[in-house]
Every structure is written in structure tokens, then in C-alpha cells.
Amino acid sequence: MGCSFSGLNALYGAVNGGGDVWINDNRFRIVRQLGEGGFAYVFLVKEVVNASSPASGGGAIAGGLSKKVKDKSHLSGDGTYAMKKVLIQNNEQLELVREEIHVSSLFNHPNLLPLLDHAIIAVKAAQEGSWNHEAYLLFPVHLDGTLLDNSTAMKAKKEFFSTTDVLHIFQQLCAGLKHMHNLDPSYAHNDVKPGNVLLTHKQGQSPLAILMDFGSARPAKRQIRSRSEALQLQEWASEHCSAPFRAPELWDCPSHADIDERTDIWSLGCTLYAVM
């Protein structure tokens, strides 16, 4: 079972508040839109559960999602989640979304955003006889915004993160990337930047930092053995790696090079510099 309504209905419901989406066997009500970019939209949703359902361990609402998610710490206490909706118009985009889902399912770390559930459905396109797809990806919600959001708001008020907070955020990002880099095979995020770091503020504590958006993540180690391969990598990087945080070897790749996890380390350093 996929989602219950088409893209136009989903957008209409989101803009006007309300509207329900089924992701596999679980029902969610759209509360409001949180953001958008390209062909993707992010909504705040709330799981629709039977009022008589008991709470699960940890006090989270015991909807159908609680039976699916292995790590109960990822369940929301009030049933709210973030739902990413992707409008897919061709097979290339479909494969990219499938790869993002696959990569996201590989990680289990407190500083990497977990994918809780997903569904891809076929929807009839405007052109008669053709079909497009929509993907729905469900994540824990973090309403305090990204590191970029927080940094921009603070700078507007001439405020800055304390040195302690900067170091704690940096340490958490290092831990998340270490988890990715230690997998077999190792994975590189390829787009580490303040806009891909979610923050959660807790009173009296340094912010919790969570790396998100694994749409550009790929196996970290790549062997480049020709000019053609080098140019292909540069073209790929121009589409998937944000320019201000892109490692030099992805800008001008040699014809004989071994690309690895160090591309993330460069981006991590740029991220640290950007928030200091």
C-alpha cells in the first residue's frame, strides 16, 4: 500500500491545512509545510492513531509506526514527524530517490537523521498514457531549524555560537561522519554544509546536531584513471556538492586520482569556519 492521494491533492491539502497521507499501513495528517526545494517538499505531519491505543515504551504515541520502527527513541512523543515528498518525473530521478532510500537505511547513529518509513507510488501524469512517481520519506522532526537557519538568525542580532557550542556541534558531526566512513564499504556524504545540519536546543545543554539529506551520499572510494572519468566526476560534483563547501579534488580532478572520505573532511572544515 502506498500513499492515498495524488501530488496535486497533497499540495492542496498541505497549503490549506489538513489532508491525510498513507505511508504503507500508517496514516498521517498534514499539519503544515515546513520547506521546499527543487522537486521536494517537506511537511510537518501527525500520525493518526486510535484514541484508545496505549502509549508505547518511552511515552510515545503507539500508532502503527511504533510496530515498524526498531529504535523506539526515534518515535515522537506527540506523534509528529517530518515527511519529505519528492515529485519524480523520469527514471533517472526515480533511481536517485531509490538510492537515497537505500543509503539512508544503512545508518544507525544519533547524529545521522534516520529514515523511519518510505513509500514510492505511481501517479498518472498529465500526458495521456504516461505515469510519474511520488516518493514519501518519513523522518523524526526537528523544529529548531538547521545550523544555517540558526547561524543566520543569530548574526542578524549580532550574536554568535559560543566556542563550547561550536566545538560540541563539530564533535557531533565528526561522530556522524565517522560512522558513515567506517561502514564497509565506506560512504561519503558529499554535501556537508550548515544547511544540512539540524539542530535541537535543550535548556542548559549544547545543541544536538544531526546530519541530514543523504541524496548525494555515495561509496567514498573512487578510482579515477582517465581524463574522461575525471570530467564525469567533476560534472557529478557540480550537481550534487554545494560549491562553497566542495573539496578541491572535486573542482579539478586529476586524470589519475584516488578519491575518498577526505572530501567530507574538507566540507566539514568549511562548515566549522562558516559558523564561527
Establish whether 191 is a catalytic residue: yes
Q: How many Å apart are CA 249 and CA 144, to the nearest integer?
A: 34
**Is the C-alpha dihedral spanning 234, 238, 241, 246 positive or negative?**
positive
DSSP secondary structure of the chain:
---SS-HHHHHHHHHHS--EEEETTEEEEEEEEEEEETTEEEEEEEE---TTPPP-TTS----THHHH-S-GGGS-SSSEEEEEEEEE-SHHHHHHHHHHHHHHTT---TTBPPP-EEEEEEEE-SSTT-EEEEEEEEE---TT-BHHHHHHHHHHTT----HHHHHHHHHHHHHHHHHHHTSSS-EE-S--SGGGEEEE--TTSPPEEEE---TT-EES-EEE-SHHHHHHHHHHHHHHS-GGG--HHHHS--SSEEE-THHHHHHHHHHHHHH-
- Determine which one of 117, 165, 191, 264 is catalytic: 191
Q: How many Å apart are CA 186 and CA 188, to the nearest integer?
A: 7
Q: So which residues are the catalytic ones?
A: 191
